[in-house]
Amino acid sequence: MAANRTFTMIKPDGVENGHIGAILDQITASGFRIVAMKLTQMTTRDAEAFYAVHKERPFFGELVEFMTRGPIVAAILEKDNAVEDFRTLIGATNPEEAAEGTIRKKFATSIGENAVHGSDSDENAQIEGAFHFAGREQF
């Protein structure tokens, strides 16, 4: 995946609370092109692998349970400076610390159930996009 791409998920809370449309609207209105997208559900094995970097953290079990409890929307997005600009658009991990107008400020309910994921580096964007999408699903 090129360096102008990032990977996102609308997490189970965002889907459950009916925010898919509003979140996608804010993403596309902010200049991101959708390269790939699907409604899917992660298995426990998927979530443990996706968040393996956090496996020693105290919140890991809760995070895996949360991320597998219902469907997510997974997507690859394209824009100049995609990773950094998308992290700005979603805001801080903890919605109480997220800037006004950011997706997490508007739609997250807690530090754990924070509505969206955004890759934190070009390398992870590539790994995470490939985790969810085959090359032929990327447009």
Catalytic residues: 117
How far separated are the first and last CA of the chain, in Å rounded? 11
- Smaller CB separation from ligand UDP, 43 or 137: 43
Interacting residues toward ligand UDP by CB under 6 A: 59, 63, 93, 111-112, 114, 117, 120
> Is 104 within any annotated ligand binding site?
yes
Nearest residue to ligand UDP, scored by beta-carbon proximity = 112
State the CB neighbour count (10 A cutoff) for residue 21.
8
> DSSP string covering 43-80, please?
-HHHHHHHTGGGTTSTTHHHHHHHHTSS-EEEEEEE-T
| Nearest one of 127, 34, 120 to 23, comparing CA atoms | 34
Q: How far is the CB of 90 from ligand UDP (least distance, A)?
A: 7
- Smaller CB separation from ligand UDP, 57 or 139: 57
DSSP E strands: which ranges in the chain?
5-10, 33-40, 72-78, 116-118
| Nearest one of 79, 57, 77, 60 to 118, comparing CA atoms | 77
Q: How far is the CB of 136 from ligand UDP (least distance, A)?
A: 28
- Smaller CB separation from ligand UDP, 110 or 139: 110
Q: How far is the CB of 18 from ligand UDP (least distance, A)?
A: 19
Binding site, annotated residues: 11, 59, 87, 93, 104, 114
Binding site, annotated residues for ATP: 11, 59, 87, 93, 104, 114
